[in-house]
Amino acid sequence: MIRTTRRAALALPALLLPGLAHAQWAPTRSLRFVVPFAAGGATDIVARVLSDPMGERLGQPVAVDNRTGAGGNVGVENVVRSAPDGLTILMGTTGTLTINPHLYSNMGFNPLTDLAPIGLAFATDHVLIVNPQVPAQTAQEFLALARAQPGRLSYGSGGNGSSTHTVVELFKLVAQVQIQHVPYRGSAPALNDTVAGNVQVMLDQIASALPQIQAGRVRALAVTGARRHPALPNVPTVAEIGLAAAEASSWGAVMAPAGTPPAAIERLNATLREALALQPVKDRLTQVGAEPLTSSPAELAAYLRAETEKWGRVVREARITVN
């Protein structure tokens, strides 16, 4: 049985790099912060929360650039092919950095070797949501409905291999239910179609789903974290509904093109840490359901290797494909 949590990420120590304060690199013009998904999703929200305080500390604007397509591969490749001058950075995710290499044989790049780690940024649990027209008020009622009508319900995801795809496939594997997959070009349009009822189900990241839950446009049935989420205290965990092995979290990490000068990596890491330490940033991330994380570049590199191995096992066991 597969069990995925973010405990390993949370255990990463927030160590300062030797000589960090002495890094001399400074950007000479504005930076481009590539988000490989559509605007409005959790990854995009966090990037936008961080862009202004990072820009203030770097002395240059940091502009978010949404590059969608191919489960995030289009945006990641855009960064891989960019000049390694510190002026282009990526908000990578669980899916784009550690899952997609197991799904796409023709990516043309390897996130572990063609990108330079800067630092972890956030983690967020997922939440099982349904359109209000779905006749299930609780997770138990939803499971009974899905089992009674295999294949009738459909769920939206941010694309093949995205976390909103793989987390659902893990949930299906553990719960032994059949729900049809409908991939979108990002989690935001998938969420919009869940609200509209074009798909009935989603296991979205709490960061992006929370406003729709609070507005009553979707119904929250369970969260995938090890504990109930403070923003959704009345929503049970998957363990509480008998599906502990379906625990899963997503994370985001800032990356740069391979070959970016070490001084630029150090300065960007320090700037990211400083932004994440700001109380308004912490409060904003908490409000949208995300948890700030920090790491050194070396710690992130080790974490990426471990996550790549873990999610490869999930892909194989759940038989996830991008067909």
Band the pLDDT of 13: cuts 50, 70, 90.
very low
Residue 19 is predicted with a pLDDT of 45
User: Would you say domain 125-246 falls under CATH 3.30.565.10?
Assistant: no
What is the average pLDDT value for the chain, to the nearest integer?
90
Q: What is residue 20's predicted lDDT score, i.e. its pLDDT? A: 45
Residue 7 has pLDDT above 60, yes or no: no
186 Rama sector, left if φ>0, alpha if ψ -120 to 50, beta otherwise: left
Length in residues, the chain: 323
pLDDT digits (tens, 9 = 90+) for 171-205: 998 999 999 999 998 888 999 999 999 999 999 98
Mean of pLDDT values over 292-314: 93
Reported CATH class of domain 7-12+29-123+250-318: alpha beta
pLDDT at 255: 98
pLDDT band at 6 (very low <50, low <70, confident <90, very high): very low
As a whole number of angstroms, the distance between CA 95 and CA 219 comes to: 25
pLDDT at 91: 98
Q: What is the pTM of this model?
A: 0.76
Residues 7 and 307: their CA atoms lie apart, in Å, by: 12
Q: How far is the C-alpha of 287 from the C-alpha of 285, rounded, in Å?
A: 5
pLDDT in tens, 62-93: 999 999 988 899 999 999 999 999 999 999 99
Gap between the terminal Cα atoms of the chain: 25
pLDDT above 90 for 105: no
Which pLDDT score is estimated for 4?
39
Please write down the HEC assignment for all residues of the chain: CCCCCCHHHHCCCCCCCCCHHHCCCCCCCCEEEEECCCCCCHHHHHHHHHHHHHHHHHCCCEEEEECCCHHHHHHHHHHHCCCCCCCEEEEEEHHHHHHHHHHCCCCCCCHHHHEEEEEEEEEEEEEEEECCCCCCCCHHHHHHHHHHCCCCCEEEECCCCCHHHHHHHHHHHHHCCCCEEEECCCHHHHHHHHHHCCCCEEEEEHHHHHHHHHCCCCEEEEECCCCCCCCCCCCCECCCCCCHHHCCEEEEEEEEECCCCHHHHHHHHHHHHHHHHCHHHHHHHHHCCCEECCCCHHHHHHHHHHHHHHHHHHHHHHCCCCC
Residue 321 burial class via C-beta count within 10 angstroms: exposed 0-12, middle 13-18, buried 19 and up: exposed
- The residue among 250 and 180 whose pLDDT is bigger is 180
Residues of the chain with CATH 3.40.190.150: 7-12+29-123+250-318
pLDDT > 90? residue 310? no
The total of other beta-carbon atoms located within 10 Å of residue 311's CB is 25
Residues of the chain with CATH 3.40.190.10: 125-246
